[in-house]
């Protein structure tokens, strides 16, 4: 588990995104975030090994087994990201608005008892490039496969709905509200105060202090 890449891309003084968190649920959790960055996309995240394994899905998940969706694997995200809804300031990595489009628990399709055994199996599947999972979300339910695909770069996977009782040809992305705030992306964009770098708030005041301390430390170093 490593969040090094995640941390490298972001500055806690400027973005309201979370930087930590400890897996604390009895079951493995998943989240899908709808993210209006330079290109609108959905971020599909699965808890594994204490972090969120993440894929950017440009067209969003489909409930139709005939519709395979491209999913580009991105850097691991911290566990606390599962509740992140707000605005990443323009000019920052992933600048734009984020809502929690879906959330829930998941497990490998193959039945096995206990989170530890499930994680072990999932990590093995991830490595092999073929994940078979069962989602219990508010929007997404039932079996899905994530399969690494060749010829579209090393990070390209396909997200495919299995044909079960939850398979449906209706476009699930038409359901466009957050499962946390019940707001659409546009509403969050207008009303969110989870934003750093623009509005002064407690978090950013603390962050400013951190910057001041860091600067002092730097000065000290240089004066030696
Ligand atoms: Mn994203």
- Which of 138, 175, 199, 208 is catalytic? The answer is 208
Task: Report how far apart, in Å, the C-alpha atoms of 115 and of each of 77, 81, 103, 129, 156 are.
Answer: 19, 20, 18, 21, 27
Contact indicator for 98, 85 with CB cutoff of 8 Å = yes
Q: What is the pTM of this model?
A: 0.85
Name the percent of the chain lying above pLDDT 70: 87
**Residue pLDDT, tens place only, 158-188:** 999 999 999 999 999 999 999 999 999 999 9
**Which residues have C-beta under 5 Å from ligand 1, the single-atom ion?**
35, 43
**Sequence ranges of the domains in the chain:** 4-194
Percent composition of the chain: helix, strand, coil (DSSP 3-state, to 5): 25, 35, 40
Task: Report how far apart, in Å, the C-alpha atoms of 6 and of each of 9, 43, 44, 127 are.
Answer: 5, 14, 16, 20
Active-site annotation holds for 208: yes
Query: Residue 83: its pLDDT value, please?
Result: 94
**Residue pLDDT, tens place only, 63-117:** 999 999 999 999 999 999 999 999 999 989 999 999 999 999 999 999 999 999 9
Using the predicted structure, report yes or no on whether residue 223 has a pLDDT greater than 70: no
Neighbours of 224 (CB within 10 A): 5
Distance 114 CA to ligand 1 centre (A): 30
Distance 73 CA to ligand 1 centre (A): 11
Distance 138 CA to ligand 1 centre (A): 20
Using the predicted structure, report yes or no on whether residue 212 has a pLDDT greater than 70: no
């Amino acid at each position: 588990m490593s969040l090094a890449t995640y941390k490298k891309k972001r500055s806690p003084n400027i973005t309201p995104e979370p930087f930590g968190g400890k897996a604390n649920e009895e079951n493995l959790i998943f989240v899908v975030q709808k993210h209006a960055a330079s290109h609108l996309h959905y971020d599909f995240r699965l808890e594994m090994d204490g972090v969120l394994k993440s894929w950017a899905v440009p067209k969003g998940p489909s409930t139709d087994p005939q519709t395979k969706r491209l999913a580009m694997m991105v850097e691991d995200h911290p566990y606390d990201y599962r509740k992140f809804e707000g605005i990443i300031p323009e000019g920052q990595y992933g600048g734009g608005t984020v809502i929690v489009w879906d959330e829930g628990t998941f497990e490998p399709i193959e039945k096995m008892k206990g989170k530890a055994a499930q994680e072990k199996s999932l990590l093995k599947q991830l490595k092999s490039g073929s994940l078979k999972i069962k989602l219990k979300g508010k929007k997404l339910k039932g079996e899905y496969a994530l399969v690494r695909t060749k010829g579209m770069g090393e990070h390209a996977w396909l997200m495919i709905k299995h044909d079960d009782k939850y398979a449906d040809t209706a476009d699930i992305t038409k359901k466009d509200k957050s499962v946390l705030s019940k707001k659409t992306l546009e509403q969050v964009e207008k009303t969110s105060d989870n934003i750093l770098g623009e509005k002064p708030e407690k978090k950013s005041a603390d962050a400013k202090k951190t910057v001041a301390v860091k600067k002092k430390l730097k000065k000290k170093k240089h004066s030696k």
